[in-house]
């Protein structure tokens, strides 16, 4: 890699914070827009010819990185004073070559999906990111995109910074996902949009299906079938996407922190409005209910083609369970906060099949095991999961004067440990809350509001 492309950006200002018992969570809150859907809304609108409007877009750093990249590709992306975003797309096949390196910050979704986009256009782009993102594996997208004809020069170990030269024309492939990853699936489908012929992805284990749902809405020709228990998604290339207005439902992965907080803080009775409940995302709700949580779905409806409901969450004594690894893809981002729920349950919770957690924004098995141990929970770490011995509802008793929990540039570790602080006798001190802004900028305010 040329030196100039190798700069890795780190967060310079760490903001530590101590989270402590604040009383029950009550009232009604709205969580911000779904991160996965927000990224895709900007990308697909940026590929459509004409004007799309996006209501409820998540304005977190990750999604803003996608917006900035789409501008560099030639889409016009603006935010109105009313919070509605307007996108004039550049058109499939007409992306401009970015003038500067694409700074993806902390965002794996932006990186992997946009690599797919570039792979079938006659342009070259350089991708850079922060220290967390620069340690994450990109080989999983480099492999299929190379098969399609893209030429990719990555840093040693297959990581960012990397430079990608798209193929024109790219070659359609049939690709069986070696890891259950919606990002890899989406990268291949996005590359397929500007590839002659039909590009297919075979999914042995279903992952979030927002790409399929939304691409169909934007007018792509796409077939989803099943063979031998595996999902097969076929996208017809050289697509013309039509503009569409998108309303983004609330993010179940953000709601998760409040679902767990209200479940474990005695006296809580909290309603979380407008939570996306796509079955490929709703695993945490099922698991919490199986642990004995008191959560009711109210006013089930559809928003932007996705099932949505309000969730009323009341405190309940949870019981530890063995979690079936088959449910993992539908709650993959929710394990850190599920571990907090398990720490307060009666009995033992065992998780397995979670190797993917080791390559998220941090190694979420090691980071959460260390953080929860410091906070006073009984945790054993295994290669593919954690075993957690709950307190049976007694507050966590960690080190007096709370040693600081290391979040390792991982927003979900910071928010999970904030929730642990609410049930801790000595409070939980988190070394850096700044990463929360990547996905949930209103988190601290909502926590204060709900626990006031
Ligand atoms: C995402 C897919 C998941 C998830 C990430 C968002 C997406 O990643 O963890 O937060 O929007 O496609 P993987 O594809 O690595 O499982």
Looking at the structure, tell me whether residues 257 and 155 fall in a common domain. no
Query: What local confidence, expressed as pLDDT, does residue 452 receive?
Result: 86
Atom of ligand 1 nearest to the CA of 253: 10
237-276 burial, b for 16+ CB within 10 Å, e for fewer? bebebebbebbbbbbbbbbbbbbbbbbbbeebebbbbbbb
Domain boundary among 206, 235, 264: 235
State if residue 214 touches ligand 1 by the CB under 6 angstroms criterion.
Answer: no
Looking at the structure, tell me whether residues 315 and 342 fall in a common domain. yes
State if residue 71 touches ligand 1 by the CB under 6 angstroms criterion.
Answer: no
State if residue 181 touches ligand 1 by the CB under 6 angstroms criterion.
Answer: yes
Query: What local confidence, expressed as pLDDT, does residue 1 receive?
Result: 33
Residue among 208, 212, 215 whose CB has most ligand 1 atoms within 8 A, to mutate: 208
Residue among 33, 144, 180, 182 whose CB has most ligand 1 atoms within 8 A, to mutate: 182
State if residue 332 touches ligand 1 by the CB under 6 angstroms criterion.
Answer: yes
Compute CA 381 distance to the chain's CA centroid, rounded to the nearest angstrom. Answer: 23
Looking at the structure, tell me whether residues 268 and 379 fall in a common domain. yes
Structure tokens at 148: 């399609």
State if residue 183 touches ligand 1 by the CB under 6 angstroms criterion.
Answer: yes
Q: What is the CATH number for 191?
A: 3.65.10.10
Q: What is the 3-state secondary structure (H, E, C) of the chain?
A: CCHHHHCCECCCCCCCEEECCCCCCEEEEECCECHHHHHHHHHHHHHCCCEEEEECCCCCHHHHHHHHHHHHCCCEEEECCCCCEEEECCCCCCCCCCCCCEECCCCHHHHHHHHHHHHCCCCEEEEECECCHHHCCCHHHHHHHHHCCCEEEEECCCEEEEEEECCCCCCCCEEECCCCCHHHHHHHHHHHHCCCCEEEEEECCCCCCHHHHHHHHCCCCEEEEEECCEEEEEEECCCCCCCCCEECCECHHHHHHHHHHHHHCCCCEEEEEEEECCCCCCHHHHHHHHCCCEEEEEEEEEECCEEEEEEEEECCCCECCEECHHHHHHHHHHHHHHHHHHHHCECEEEECCCHHHHHCCCCHHHHHHHHHHHCCCEEEEECCEEEEECCCCCCECCCCCCCEECCCCCHHHHHHHHHHHHCECCCEEECCCHHHHHCCCCHHHHHHHHHC
Q: What does the angle CA 42 – CA 15 – CA 261 come to, to the nearest 5 degrees?
A: 75
CA of 396 to the centre of ligand 1 (A): 31
Looking at the structure, tell me whether residues 344 and 270 fall in a common domain. yes
439 part of a folded domain: yes
245 part of the active site: no
Query: What local confidence, expressed as pLDDT, does residue 402 receive?
Result: 61
Looking at the structure, tell me whether residues 23 and 39 fall in a common domain. no
CA of 20 to the centre of ligand 1 (A): 30
Distance CA 240, CA 204 (A): 29
Burial class (CB in 10 A: 0-12, 13-18, 19+), 147: middle
Looking at the structure, tell me whether residues 196 and 280 fall in a common domain. no
Task: Label residue 408 left, alpha or beta by phi (over 0 means left) and psi (-120 to 50 means alpha).
Answer: left
Q: Do the Cβ atoms of 235 and 189 come closer than 8 Å?
A: yes
Atom of ligand 1 nearest to the CA of 184: 14
Query: What local confidence, expressed as pLDDT, does residue 9 receive?
Result: 39
Going by C-beta distance under 8 Å and a sequence separation of 6 or more, which residues neighbour residue 129? 8, 9, 103, 104, 105, 106, 107, 111, 160, 161
State if residue 200 touches ligand 1 by the CB under 6 angstroms criterion.
Answer: no
Looking at the structure, tell me whether residues 114 and 22 fall in a common domain. no
Domain boundary among 191, 211, 235: 235
355 part of a folded domain: yes
Looking at the structure, tell me whether residues 168 and 147 fall in a common domain. yes
Structure tokens at 368: 């959460």
Query: What local confidence, expressed as pLDDT, does residue 4 receive?
Result: 32
Structure tokens at 180: 């259950």
Is pTM beyond 0.95 here?
A: yes
125 part of a folded domain: yes
Full pLDDT tens readout for the chain, 452 residues: 333 333 333 445 789 999 999 899 999 999 999 999 999 999 999 999 999 999 999 999 999 999 999 999 999 999 999 999 999 999 999 999 999 999 999 999 999 999 999 999 999 999 999 999 999 999 999 999 999 999 999 999 999 999 999 999 999 999 999 999 999 999 999 999 999 999 999 999 999 999 999 999 999 999 999 999 999 999 999 999 999 999 999 999 999 999 999 999 999 999 999 999 999 999 999 999 999 999 999 999 999 889 999 999 999 999 999 999 999 999 999 999 999 999 999 999 999 999 999 999 999 999 999 999 999 999 999 999 999 999 999 999 987 766 789 999 999 999 999 999 999 999 999 999 999 999 999 999 999 999 98
CA of 252 to the centre of ligand 1 (A): 13
Pick the catalytic residue from 62, 310, 333, 410. Answer: 333
Query: What local confidence, expressed as pLDDT, does residue 2 receive?
Result: 32
Compute CA 27 distance to the chain's CA centroid, rounded to the nearest angstrom. Answer: 26
Looking at the structure, tell me whether residues 167 and 124 fall in a common domain. yes
96 part of a folded domain: yes
State if residue 106 touches ligand 1 by the CB under 6 angstroms criterion.
Answer: no
Looking at the structure, tell me whether residues 200 and 266 fall in a common domain. no
Place of tokens 């907080």: 261
Residue among 108, 110, 335 whose CB has most ligand 1 atoms within 8 A, to mutate: 108
The edge-to-edge listing of strands for the beta sheet with 222-227 is 174-176, 198-203, 230-236, 222-227
State if residue 213 touches ligand 1 by the CB under 6 angstroms criterion.
Answer: no
Domain limits at 146? Answer: 35-235
Looking at the structure, tell me whether residues 72 and 173 fall in a common domain. yes
Domain boundary among 235, 260, 293: 235
CA of 329 to the centre of ligand 1 (A): 9
7 part of a folded domain: no
Going by C-beta distance under 8 Å and a sequence separation of 6 or more, which residues neighbour residue 310? 271, 272, 273, 274, 275, 297, 298, 299
6 part of a folded domain: no
Looking at the structure, tell me whether residues 280 and 363 fall in a common domain. yes
* Closest C-alpha to ligand 1, atom 16: 181
Query: What local confidence, expressed as pLDDT, does residue 436 receive?
Result: 98
CA dihedral for 108, 256, 85, 244, sign (positive or negative): positive
159 part of a folded domain: yes
CA of 354 to the centre of ligand 1 (A): 14
105 part of a folded domain: yes
Q: Give the total number of structural domains in the chain.
A: 2
CA of 118 to the centre of ligand 1 (A): 19
């Amino acid at each position: 890699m040329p030196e100039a492309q190798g700069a890795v950006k780190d967060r310079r200002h760490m903001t530590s914070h101590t989270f402590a018992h604040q009383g029950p969570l009550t009232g009604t809150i709205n969580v911000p827009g779904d991160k996965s859907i927000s990224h895709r809304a900007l990308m697909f609108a940026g590929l459509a010819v004409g004007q799309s409007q996006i209501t409820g877009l998540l304005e977190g750093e990750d999604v803003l990185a996608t917006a900035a990249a789409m501008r560099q590709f030639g889409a016009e992306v603006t935010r109105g004073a009313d919070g509605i975003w307007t996108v004039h797309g550049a058109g499939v096949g007409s992306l401009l070559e970015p003038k500067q390196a694409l700074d993806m910050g902390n965002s794996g979704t932006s990186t992997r999906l946009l690599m797919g986009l570039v792979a079938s256009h006659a342009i070259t782009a350089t991708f850079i990111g922060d220290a967390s993102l620069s340690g994450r594996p990109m080989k999983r997208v480099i492999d299929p995109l190379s098969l399609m004809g893209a030429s990719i020069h990555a840093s040693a170990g297959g990581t960012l910074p990397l430079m990608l030269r798209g193929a024109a024309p790219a070659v359609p492939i049939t690709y069986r996902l070696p890891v259950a990853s919606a990002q890899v699936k989406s990268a291949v489908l996005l590359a397929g949009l500007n590839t002659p012929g039909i590009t297919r992805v075979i999914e042995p284990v279903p992952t979030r299906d927002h790409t399929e749902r939304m691409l169909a809405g934007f007018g792509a020709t796409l077939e989803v079938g099943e063979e031998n228990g595996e999902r097969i998604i076929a996208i017809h290339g050289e697509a013309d996407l039509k503009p569409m207005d998108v309303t983004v439902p609330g993010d179940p992965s953000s709601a998760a922190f409040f679902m767990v907080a209200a479940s474990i803080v005695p006296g809580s009775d909290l309603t979380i409005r407008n939570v996306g409940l796509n079955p490929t995302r709703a695993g945490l709700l099922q698991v919490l209910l199986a642990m004995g949580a008191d959560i009711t779905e109210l006013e089930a409806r559809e928003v932007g083609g996705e099932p949505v409901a309000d969730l009323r969450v009341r405190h309940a004594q949870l019981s530890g369970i063995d979690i079936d690894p088959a449910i993992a893809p539908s709650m993959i981002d929710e394990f850190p906060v599920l571990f907090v729920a398990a720490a307060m349950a009666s009995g033992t919770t065992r998780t397995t099949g979670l190797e993917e957690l080791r390559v998220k924004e941090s190694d979420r098995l090691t980071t959460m095991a260390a953080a929860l141990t410091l906070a006073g929970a009984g945790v054993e770490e295994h290669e593919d999961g954690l075993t957690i011995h709950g307190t049976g509802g007694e507050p966590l008793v960690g080190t007096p004067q709370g040693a600081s929990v290391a979040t390792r540039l991982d927003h979900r570790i910071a928010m999970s440990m904030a929730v642990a602080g609410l049930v801790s006798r000595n409070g939980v001190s988190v070394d850096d809350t700044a990463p929360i802004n990547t996905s949930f900028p209103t988190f601290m305010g909502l926590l204060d509001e709900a626990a006031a």
